[in-house]
Structure 1
Amino acid sequence: MRMNFAGRTLDMAACHVMGVLNVTPDSFSDGGRFNQIDSALARAREIVADGAAFIDVGGESTRPGATPVPLQEELDRVCPVVEAIARELDVVVSVDTSAPEVMREAVALGAGLINDVRALQRPGAPEEMGRTDVPVCIMHIQGEPEHMQDNPSYRNVLQDVSSFLTERLRVVEAAGVRSDRIILDPGFGFGKTVQHNFQLLSALEQLKQLGHPILAGMSRKSMLGHVTGRDVGERLSASVAAATIAALKGVSIVRAHDVRETVDAVKVVAAMEEAGR
């Protein structure tokens, strides 16, 4: 399956790396490091040089306990960075947002993907994406970032996540979003315990039965810190291991902070799969 991202076509049967670029002061891993245009663009150049196919620009932290950002502030953070990257670099610019106004402006400035952790649940978001010509990633989340980790519970996490995504697919397609422009994300760490996260990782390939490319984002997350005992800045090996497992299970995109190392791991998986054909 091939998918067009604002003029860049990628084979979604392969696994691609999405580099994280948080232009926020309070993200859990790199908050405040890239919230100026010069530092953000310099980091974007590094991400592309390291081999990423996507750069995911986020102007609102969605870490556990995070509070919403005013719309104008999110626009002011995101738009100049999206415009600069789209103008200068050969990469798909993804924008991590739930606000339809940010979606509209970002696409107008050259974004090729909208990555919404709230699965287009905000009023007007499905309709906004129905009017655009770029793909969207819809993610499972239980609750809102501010309280999502208070007490997450499921009858069966895989079935509940699948049911949520199936219902969101119905809603967003009814709003005009084409089925061949939708990517799904199970939402590791978004309203889930450590056990829930690893249950999802174990069964990740089953989500492909929903008929859409899958994005997996586990880089540096607390699920990895729990099993390794490592602080957030010391989770490189665990993050690469998780990305490798996801690639082996057939995901189309792995979202990563440590791009070069993750790209290498994905290349090894691709070489093994090619040799086995």
Structure 2
Amino acid sequence: YRLMRFNTMMDMFDRDFPGHYLRLIRRVRTSVIALIPTVTGIHATLSTVGTSRVVIGGPVFQKIAVRRNPETVALSSPRDATGLFELDQQPELLLPFEGTGVEASWEFRMPKASNLFDYSTIADVILTIEYTALNDFGYRQEVIQSLSTTISSDIPFSFRNQFADQWFDLNNPEQTATPMVVRFVTTREDFPPNLEDLRIQQVLLAFLRAAGSSSEVSGSSLLFTEDGGGGPVGGAANTVEGVISTRRADGKAIRAGDAASWIPILGKAPFGDWELALPADPVTKALFANEEIEDILLVITYSGRTPDWPS
């Protein structure tokens, strides 16, 4: 079963078009980027969950709640699906999600039981929101002054897709001089342009396990050498539910067995050489030989400084 919950926040739209207010959804389109047979399509649903919000004008611009019942549409096309018959125009009726504020909570469901294609080929799910808004130049200056010049985002690296040579070596340790040890590089081109002073905030390593597998990988070593930054930093850590991370989801202190040895990586520029060393024992090798590990994801949470807005 596949379920994805996510939020669209107001500052995501403010960074694109500061000064817009009363942003109300007109139409929502969903695309699933994957190897999906043309005649099969997808079988998914998109729903709103909870209350949405908009900014209203007046003497003081303020955010208010838009109270509407939750809505759900069924999606069958993998590209620009809206849940509507496009030629069946009914102007007297609202479109799905029409009138909802752009700051909203969403739920996307695409159960494996009704989708007979390879989920490992899913590259992305794209949500396109078409909305209407009003503009105010005074409010634009207010928003620009309130926007932080520092942004934070995540960038994932898939060993199966982006580090194919390293993925091959992990699956064929007998064909390499350093069994279960791979090296790779992250460069400036891997990160968005127009950002300055990029820094690593968090590091997560996820072993994507096959359905039914609960195997853990103990003693995984991750080392990072920053470009022009001296020697390698990092160390060994153990997976918890297939994941090693420098932070916990609840924001509390790092647990013993998590990535405490990776803390020195944080704060460095994310460009340099990485080394991942897994235990070269029969148990770990068998996880790859038996395809119990379908991929390894390195997720770097980074911060960067945006250019100044023109006055």
Q: TM-score, normalised by structure 2?
A: 0.26
- In our comparison, the structure showing a higher alpha carbon Rg is 2
Select the structure with the greater relative contact order (CA < 8 A; seq sep ≥ 6): 2
